[in-house]
Amino acid sequence: MTEKVFLLPDLGEGLAEAEIVQWRVAVGDTVTVDQTVVEVETAKAVVDVPCPYAGRVVALHGAEGEVRPVGQPLITVAEPVGGRADGGEPTGHAVYREEERAGSGNVLIGYGTGHGSSRRRRRPRLAAVTDASGASDVPTASGAAVTPSAGGRPAAVADREPDSPELAQPLVISPIVRRLARERGVDLTTVRGSGPGGVVRRADVEAAARDVTGAPADVTARLTAVSDRPATTGQHPAPGDPGPVGAQDLVIPLTGIRRTIADKLSRSRREIPEVTIWVDADATGLLETRAAINSARPDHPVSILALFARICLSGLRRYPQLNARVDTEGQRIVQSAGVHLGIAAQTDRGLVVPVLRDAERLTTTELAAELAATTAAARAGELPPARLTGGTFTLNNYGVFGVDGSTPIINHPEAALLGIGRIVDKPWVVDGQLAVRKVTQLSLTFDHRVCDGGVAGGFLRHVADCVEQPALLIATV
């Protein structure tokens, strides 16, 4: 039998790590090529990871809830000798290239790419080992293999003196743990890990923070925040007084998709000189058109969002300046040949923007079906990372939250976003007479670098006109 180690692959566009959500196999199980072995969560999506090897599972590297860096061991499989004609044992990218030659249908993003982007974050490689029972590996910063001692710490570590310089590199896998230690002022070299083989976990850092301050870490953080606040009532808590009994601030780390959202929105606000314009539109005619379509074709219903998507596609055909991005490094504006339409969707994991590529090629019925399937998959966390990137224009229906208007933040690096408010009954003048109509507010946020107000206003006016008079839409498609 020969053992092969499958490394956590790059799951999409520079993602540097993934959290293990659920193992689908156990040590001793037999797996086949391309069988899903683990479910992981990246900053963008929940992904099923297939194994490129067939054989018996020898070790699972990492526990559920643990964050693993890309390129580090994920699972070790023992396969019969002779799995390769030349008797060799491929490793690293050679493994992925072998899978591609074998015709594997589940090759993930990043397999066989040879060399990653020079801008991608690099992490030090950690050596992986297993104990005699096949338990999880214990990485070391130096790359040397170690074996766990009876006390749970690796023997190579447990046998050293506490002040040994070799202890300067703590057994820390998760970047979340390192960041938490920095925030709490905890020296990781003094922390005794409770994880497999002495790996330091978040709970260990929290315990170390309590030892230093004599109070829970979140209370310490709250006390610091209280001491930094300006006085508003003339009363100050006594030193060490955490405030009202039982009251504690909730500290939520920015991790996973929440961190990705924060980074992307912050970058958009830093880099893009955005402007928002808006207009109220009478959507009565659009709703009547939708009702007529669905009455004539009940087996292929069309949503109001699909009609707004069709209207946006018509507007972008007339005003392609908004279907673009600014290449700051090349000092140029790039107008996309196709419309890759992003649809903002609120999920339990946060706001995501799945993309319908080449949406202009779809009929309105096809748009409705794709929108329904895509948003459902996004809310279920079933979309691959590739479906959450590459948009050129975003449609955001925040009216579902019961609000009228917004000043949306552009989905970087796109150049524009159309927001749709709720459709409600409002007084409206029709042919000189006051009437009650179905009115919505449309907001367009655009990058002022790609165009001026004339183009943006023309696009928004075209959208509003098509909403109010759907016959104009038919004339332009």
The residues annotated as belonging to the active site are 448
Q: In 200-255, which residue ranges form alpha helices assigned H by DSSP? A: 202-213, 217-228
Phi-psi region of 34 (alpha: psi -120 to 50; beta: other; left: phi over 0): left
- How far apart (Å, rounded) are the C-alpha atoms in residues 224 and 237? 12
CA-only gyration radius of the chain, Å: 28
Residue 348 tokens, joined: 């339990």
Q: In 301-408, which residue ranges form alpha helices assigned H by DSSP? A: 304-318, 364-379
Question: CB-hemisphere CA count at 13 Å for 352?
Answer: 29
- How far apart (Å, rounded) are the C-alpha atoms in residues 356 and 18? 25
Q: At what angle do helices 304-318 and 284-296 cross, to 10 degrees?
A: 110
Q: Which residue type is seen at 283?
A: A
In sequence order, what are the beta bridge partners of 447? Answer: 274
- How far apart (Å, rounded) are the C-alpha atoms in residues 117 and 114? 10
- How far apart (Å, rounded) are the C-alpha atoms in residues 376 and 379? 5
Residue 78 tokens, joined: 């023992």
Cβ atoms 390, 367 nearer than 8 A: no
In sequence order, what are the beta bridge partners of 352? Answer: 345
Residue 235 tokens, joined: 């009363």
Residues whose CB falls within 8 Å of the CB of residue 445, separated by 6 or more in sequence, listed in order: 274, 275, 276, 407, 408, 409, 410, 416, 417, 419
- How far apart (Å, rounded) are the C-alpha atoms in residues 147 and 89? 24
Q: Tell me if the bond preceding 413 is cis, omega within 30° of 0.
A: yes
Cβ atoms 11, 46 nearer than 8 A: no
Phi-psi region of 450 (alpha: psi -120 to 50; beta: other; left: phi over 0): alpha
Cβ atoms 353, 364 nearer than 8 A: no
Q: CA 21, 12, 395 angle in degrees (round to 5)?
A: 95
